[in-house]
Amino acid sequence: MGALPNRRVLINLAIVALAGLLIFAIALPSSRVTLRDLVKQKPNPEIPDEPAPPPKPKYKPEPDYLPPPIKDNFPLLATSSPPPIPKWNQPRQDAHKTYNLPAAPPLFIGFTRTWPVLQQAVVSYITAGWPASQIYVIENTGVQQANARGQLSLQNPFFLNHTALHALGVNIIQTPTLLSFAQMQNFFLSLTYAHDWPYFFWSHMDVLALAYEDGRAGLTPRYDAPGYKSLYELALTALQTTQEKGHKWGLRFFSYDHLTLVNPKAYEDVGGWDTLIPYYMTDCDMHSRLTMRGWTIEDAKAGIITDVASALGDLSALYRVDGVEPNFVDPNPPPPKEEGGKSKQRAKRDEDPNLAKWNALRKTADRMFQHKHGDRERNTWQLGQHGGEGEPFYYNAAGLAEGIEVMTETGREMYRRKWGHRDCELIKKGGLKFEDAWRVKKDWD
């Protein structure tokens, strides 16, 4: 009898303990199996009766055409220093001083992908007279130190050959992360503060630049006549004329906007580029805002700067190396339909041999332009340089192209909401002024 109360107490204690455990288990906030699940008799999704097959992603079809691997378009550089540039285009020491300019203007060329095309732009500016030491390639690849360390292969879309650029004598500035177009423009502006540059030129990387070696009325005589001016000297001339007018100059466009001269004060006055509009339409936004604030935008001429998507097979042609006939290859070709452009330029009897080489280059540049704007689908990046798997900071090439398209679309919507207007004509067709940004309703339907 003496043991009975003790047992009852023990049983009561056990019941209280169990009840406590039950309440704790029910209240336990967890997605895992709890007593609550057991009480509610839910089937446990993690322990099914029959094992379900693992989920299978649906893959996109593989492209049925892949172009051959790209080749470097300046093989000479691997074995020797660059050939001399045509002597009539060789930059004079401190040429800018003879144009009353306080500083030599830097030329920025942004690079994200497609090395042969970038290398062509750089070499074409150098051989058209731009001093290599005043050219700044802005590496905007997002691959951090990988290119500087030579860790990427030629087939990687982000490949940039630092050794080759240094051999050419140009400078490389790296962005700290992959920037959009608008962000990179603001990065250009930031460089003017860091280096005290009162003005700068910037060029697209997909251009081929040639000087007016055949002469142009009002600009320059032929290459072999006294007073000839290279592309660089004409750019300096345009800069001097612009500066001397002493007005609120904003931009000067050469060959549309293939090369642009910028007044950083104008960028500063309008608060820089709008990075919420990352790609297309961001230029409409910027140029309109410059005009709204009274900064002038005018056209000027310095040379033939052609918009291209392909690169000369051998850049030695730009140095007029004997026996190298200009032809071109598309590093991002569409599936083959037509034969790639091959140039067969024969010097006409009595034609000046130097002009014959120049004419061959100019005609090839024309065909490269036709090729870019012909039935070739623009920007077929996914078919071009597509290698680099396993290399540092590898990124799927087609994915990058698609991602930029999506951001471009977002930017267009941003622009429409900012100005309540859909096309580029904010002032003429929208009647908008600088202060109207983000304060107007949409002006359509």
Ligand X SMILES: *[C@@H]1O[C@H](CO)[C@@H](O)[C@H](O)[C@H]1NC(C)=O
CB of 158 closer than 8 Å to CB of 142? yes
What is the closest distance, in whole angstroms, from the C-beta atom of residue 170 to ligand X in the complex?
13
Q: Does the footprint of ligand X cover residue 165 (CB under 6 A)?
A: no
Q: Does the footprint of ligand X cover residue 260 (CB under 6 A)?
A: no
Residue 47, Cβ neighbours under 10 Å: how many?
8
| Residue 167 or 219 having the CB closest to ligand X | 167
| Residue 150 or 399 having the CB closest to ligand X | 150
What is the closest distance, in whole angstroms, from the C-beta atom of residue 78 to ligand X in the complex?
4
What is the closest distance, in whole angstroms, from the C-beta atom of residue 55 to ligand X in the complex?
40
What is the closest distance, in whole angstroms, from the C-beta atom of residue 224 to ligand X in the complex?
32
Residue of 107, 164, 182, 404 interacting with ligand X (CB under 6 A): 164
Residue of 73, 89, 124, 161 interacting with ligand X (CB under 6 A): 161
Q: Does the footprint of ligand X cover residue 167 (CB under 6 A)?
A: yes
| Residue 159 or 202 having the CB closest to ligand X | 159
Q: Does the footprint of ligand X cover residue 163 (CB under 6 A)?
A: yes
Q: Does the footprint of ligand X cover residue 172 (CB under 6 A)?
A: no
CB of 141 closer than 8 Å to CB of 128? no
What is the closest distance, in whole angstroms, from the C-beta atom of residue 167 to ligand X in the complex?
5
Best CA proximity match to 133, nearest among 110, 107, 111: 107
CB of 321 closer than 8 Å to CB of 354? no
Contact pattern for ligand X over residues 110 through 149, marking x by CB under 6 A: ----------------------------------------
Piece in contact with ligand X (CB under 6 A), picked from 47-55, 156-164, 298-306, 424-432: 156-164
Q: State the Cα torsion 131-133-135-136 to the nearest 10°.
A: 180
Question: Per this entry, what is the length of the chain?
Answer: 445
Residue of 103, 154, 219, 401 interacting with ligand X (CB under 6 A): 154
Piece in contact with ligand X (CB under 6 A), picked from 59-67, 159-167, 195-203, 345-353: 159-167
Contact pattern for ligand X over residues 54 through 93, marking x by CB under 6 A: ------------------x----xx---------------
The count of residues interacting with ligand X (CB under 6 A) is 8
| Residue 274 or 314 having the CB closest to ligand X | 314
| Residue 160 or 259 having the CB closest to ligand X | 160
Contact pattern for ligand X over residues 204 through 243, marking x by CB under 6 A: ----------------------------------------
Residues at the interface with ligand X (CB under 6 A): 72, 77-78, 154, 161, 163-164, 167
